[in-house]
Chains A and B, each alone.
Chain A
Amino acid sequence: KNQVEQSPQSLIILEGKNCTLQCNYTVSPFSNLRWYKQDTGRGPVSLTIMTFSENTKSNGRYTATLDADTKQSSLHITASQLSDSASYICVVSEAGNTPLVFGKGTRLSVIA
């Protein structure tokens, strides 16, 4: 069964610190991997989409990496801000017209 596992489940960091969120997946055949940020009570907002050939992709202070061989991805947040407090969801697309496979997300809290 195609699965996406994220760790940690939740994380608390001090403002200004960096952090890395992990995503492991078993989805095959792989098409692309996406990271979304979801603020409480809001819809997810896309941060990055990476295909098989892309190893790293940045969006401001967010940098995603992908190792398609080991089926792992990470999202690194640099110089965290209070507004980074949200759930970060890893989503993997299987090749072909099948639904996206969502992880349960990592709940990040940035505190002053």
Chain B
Amino acid sequence: DAMVIQNPRYQVTQFGKPVTLSCSQTLNHNVMYWYQQKSSQAPKLLFHYYDKDFNNEADTPDNFQSRRPNTSFCFLDIRSPGLGDAAMYLCATSRDHWAKNYEQYFGPGTRLTVT
């Protein structure tokens, strides 16, 4: 059974048109992460939630926002997508922080295309 679910799997949006990607988890994990992965590159952390505490990476563009209304769901909002935002967006969860050796479970990703 899927543990980290991302919807949609493929999303096409127009330049400048807001878009929301969603992630849900059945693991009841405290931490949820959003990564951006461009072709042939390593995933890049955008932000993460430890429970309700939001942690934004310093180089994450202001264009990217996130919401976590409850333990199970987390959303990535891109307010005004540019062509450079086309990428795979990966959601991940872990029971606790990475330094504590907890497994990080990734969703299948949402492939975002900006036209």
Contact = CB atoms under 8 A, between A and B. Distances in A.
A100 interface: yes
Interface residues of B, number: 25
Interface string B38-81: 00111111000000000001000000000000000000000000
Contacts, number: 57
A98 interface: yes
22 contacts: A34-B104, A42-B109, A43-B90, A43-B91, A43-B92, A43-B109, A44-B90, A46-B103, A46-B105, A49-B101, A49-B103, A93-B99, A95-B99, A96-B99, A97-B97, A97-B99, A98-B99, A99-B98, A100-B98, A102-B42, A102-B43, A103-B42
A74 B44 CA distance: 23
Interface in B99-115: 99, 101, 103-109, 111
A106 B106 CA distance: 19
Interface of B: 4, 6, 40-45, 57, 88, 90-92, 97-99, 101, 103-109, 111
Interface residues of A, number: 26
A44 B101 contact: no
